[in-house]
Structure 1
Amino acid sequence: MDRIGVDLGGTKTEVAVIDSRGQTHFSERAPTPRDYNAKIRLIAELVQKAGQAAGSDSLTVGIGHPGSLNPQTGLMRNANSTELNGYPLDRDIEQALGRAVRCANDANCFALSEARDGAGKDAGSVFGVILGTGVGGGIVVGGQLWEGTSRLGGEWGHTALPWPSPAEVPGPACQCGLKGCLESWISGPAISADHLRATGETCSADEIMAAAETGDQAAQSTRDRFEDRLARGLATVINILDPEIIVLGGGLSNITGLSARVERRLPAYVFSDQVTTRIRRNAHGDSSGVRGAAWLWPLP
């Protein structure tokens, strides 16, 4: 009943052995190398260690990764770890391991983890949100990951900021090549850039949020703009998906009171006389990625 999950991150790679009750029996993290082939070797080494710890070399293996596998070409695309792009990641890992694997975008794995036994447990529909260096999301309906026809489901970070003010048009340049994407407004680096434009001060998102907690008015204004933009983005998700629960993840999800404040802003934007979607902070922190990767294989 055990299964292995791997979270292939930009700076660290984590492996874990998870049982059917969601208990972790083994975990290990290692720095992620830049070279593509070195990534494959590291995954193979970590999976071997996990199998040895579990006493089995035949456990299922799920991989969470940046970007997505194009179902038409079988090649990676849209990964911010650009060395992955253009390679058949799943096939190369399968060849290195000598067995089948299941792969999914890391935000999808986060959403699946939180829907399975986290902040979205027992909800019929969950939208998982990553708010960090980038912005992503994942959709789980009826306990099953919904990736869409082209495996692009949940990529709300590269939709435009809804209901922009004149000052928000056309918006900052996004790494995808367009302007005004949500990622260019509500990611960690975007918050820093917004604060710099407003104040001339260079601060990290963490520093800004800490200053806001102490009563710094400029920092509070930056936090207010961030939360209003986040609420607008999530209102569009609600208007389309109407999920029971939205779970916030990534480093910015740790902002004190974020879930409650954003939830209070939703009625101004959601097309309804009542907003029933709840916004919750994640339950499993940065372990949700590896847990969700393990859950890519269903229970027997």
Structure 2
Amino acid sequence: MITCFDIGGSTIKGATASSPEHLDTLGRVPTPLHDFEAFCAAIAGLVEQGGAPEGSAVAISITGVVDPDTGIVTCANIPCIDNKRLDAELGARLERPVFVANDADCFVLAEARAGAGQGHRVVFGAILGTGVGGGIVVDGQIHRGAGGLAGEWGHGPATASSAGTPPVSIPLFACGCGQIGCVDTIGGARGIERLHKHLHGAALPSTDIIAHWQAGDAAAEQTIDCMIDLVASPLALVVNIVGPSIVPVGGGLRNVPALIARLDGAVRQRILRRLDTPLVVPAQLTGEPGLIGAALLALGETP
């Protein structure tokens, strides 16, 4: 039995798993942000609650970057674990093996082995939520890049300076990563809002913009047209370089099938490989992909 966790900046969600298909949830507790002992105690409490056998593994899907060579976590959202070897330090306190991976990587692992990516050798998972992220799974295993960075198509100057039909000028917006022109600035929910305000001077939540678009509003259509144009080219470049045969989309925007279908059509027009079937698809696992991915992470590492 595995005790698995999905940990973000506000909440720790826990479950026990004998297989990825059998999760027994343990509920959730607030994430201690500044006290590492309290953080460890919260995890230990849920492990005890789950009743996993002594010495059984703990698997964690977490926001932040995990260096595969050192085990050091970089996590601005949870300062108490930043720059720590979480697997070793938490494992010593729990007296259990601990496996830790980035939450986007766990999402892609879950989709590759239990969702839309089943039967595909190379899977690229694209996160379109508040911002933009991603991860790569090859032959059922997470591809862990140098420093723990791989699949981060949301960052790095990649967006065009004009978009849409007819083209309109789009500034290169500053990104929280310190660069300008990142896909993250225009690709997720906040990106849609940023584009809409630039194009139309109206500050609306992304949910309203999407609802207006689906209702045929011309201003929202221009916003979505520009967003798709700006996002499709970087994603097509990822497909050409990485070579996935399926691209499951997670995050809040996966819940807008018409948007994902439009993005799929735009990406397939831009890639080298000719396809007449969908490539970019909504993720299939709508429940707890972070917990499922964490369970798969540990089940793949333990006998």
State TM-score, norm by structure 1. 0.89
Name the residue aligned to 2:18. Answer: 19
Name the residue aligned to 2:188. Answer: 187
Instruction: After superposition, give the CA deviation of every residue in 1:183-215 in whole Å (9 maximum; x if it has no partner).
Output: 111122121111111111111111211121122
| Shift of residue 276, structure 1, vs aligned partner | 6.6
Matched length: 294
| Shift of residue 231, structure 1, vs aligned partner | 1.5
Q: Is structure 2 residue 180 aligned with structure 1 residue 176?
A: no
Percent of pairs with identical residues: 36
- Report the secondary structure of 1:122's partner residue: coil
| Shift of residue 220, structure 1, vs aligned partner | 1.9
| Shift of residue 277, structure 1, vs aligned partner | 6.7
In the superposition, relative to structure 1, how do residues 72 and 23 fare at CA in structure 2: closer, same or farther (>3 Å)?
closer
- Report the secondary structure of 1:215's partner residue: coil
In the superposition, relative to structure 1, how do residues 95 and 227 fare at CA in structure 2: closer, same or farther (>3 Å)?
same
d(CA) in 2 for partners of 1:198 and 1:49?
Answer: 52
| Shift of residue 88, structure 1, vs aligned partner | 2.6
Write the letter of the residue equivalent to 1:167: S
| Shift of residue 174, structure 1, vs aligned partner | 0.4
In the superposition, relative to structure 1, how do residues 27 and 125 fare at CA in structure 2: closer, same or farther (>3 Å)?
farther
> Which of 131, 135, 142 is the aligned partner of 2:132?
135
Instruction: After superposition, give the CA deviation of every residue in 1:13-56 in whole Å (9 maximum; x if it has no partner).
Output: 21112222522133422232332423332222222222x2x5x2
Instruction: After superposition, give the CA deviation of every residue in 1:243-289 in whole Å (9 maximum; x if it has no partner).
Output: 01101001111113222211111233213455777122112225101
| Shift of residue 85, structure 1, vs aligned partner | 2.7
Contact 2:125 2:249 (8 Å CA) reproduced: yes
CA RMSD of aligned residues (A): 2.2
Instruction: After superposition, give the CA deviation of every residue in 1:95-138 in whole Å (9 maximum; x if it has no partner).
Output: 33122211111000000011111111121111111111232111
Contact 2:107 2:290 (8 Å CA) reproduced: yes
* Structure 2: runs of 5 or more not aligned: 163-167
d(CA) in 1 for partners of 2:276 and 2:241?
Answer: 13
d(CA) in 2 for partners of 1:203 and 1:261?
Answer: 22
Write the letter of the residue equivalent to 2:130: T
In the superposition, relative to structure 1, how do residues 159 and 257 fare at CA in structure 2: closer, same or farther (>3 Å)?
same
d(CA) in 1 for partners of 2:119 and 2:76?
Answer: 32
Q: Is structure 2 residue 118 aligned with structure 1 residue 121?
A: yes
Name the residue aligned to 2:169. Answer: 167
- Report the secondary structure of 1:158's partner residue: coil
In the superposition, relative to structure 1, how do residues 15 and 172 fare at CA in structure 2: closer, same or farther (>3 Å)?
same
In the superposition, relative to structure 1, how do residues 269 and 128 fare at CA in structure 2: closer, same or farther (>3 Å)?
same
Name the residue aligned to 1:207. Answer: 208
d(CA) in 2 for partners of 1:96 and 1:15?
Answer: 18
* Matched ranges for 1:139-150 at <5 A: 139-150=136-147
Write the letter of the residue equivalent to 2:170: E
Contact 1:8 1:66 (8 Å CA) reproduced: yes
Contact 1:250 1:286 (8 Å CA) reproduced: no
Instruction: After superposition, give the CA deviation of every residue in 1:168-188 in whole Å (9 maximum; x if it has no partner).
Output: 35x100001100111111122
- Report the secondary structure of 2:146's partner residue: coil
* Structure 1: runs of 5 or more not aligned: none
Q: Is structure 2 residue 112 aligned with structure 1 residue 112?
A: no
Write the letter of the residue equivalent to 2:12: T
Name the residue aligned to 1:34. Answer: 33
Name the residue aligned to 1:91. Answer: 88
Deviates more, 1:16-25 or 1:177-186: 16-25
In the superposition, relative to structure 1, how do residues 153 and 260 fare at CA in structure 2: closer, same or farther (>3 Å)?
same
Q: Is structure 2 residue 7 aligned with structure 1 residue 8?
A: yes
Name the residue aligned to 2:43. Answer: 43
Q: Is structure 2 residue 66 aligned with structure 1 residue 65?
A: no
In the superposition, relative to structure 1, how do residues 123 and 36 fare at CA in structure 2: closer, same or farther (>3 Å)?
farther
Write the letter of the residue equivalent to 2:169: A
d(CA) in 1 for partners of 2:15 and 2:178?
Answer: 36
d(CA) in 1 for partners of 2:66 and 2:243?
Answer: 27
In the superposition, relative to structure 1, how do residues 80 and 252 fare at CA in structure 2: closer, same or farther (>3 Å)?
farther
Contact 2:20 2:295 (8 Å CA) reproduced: no
- Report the secondary structure of 1:28's partner residue: strand
| Shift of residue 149, structure 1, vs aligned partner | 3.0
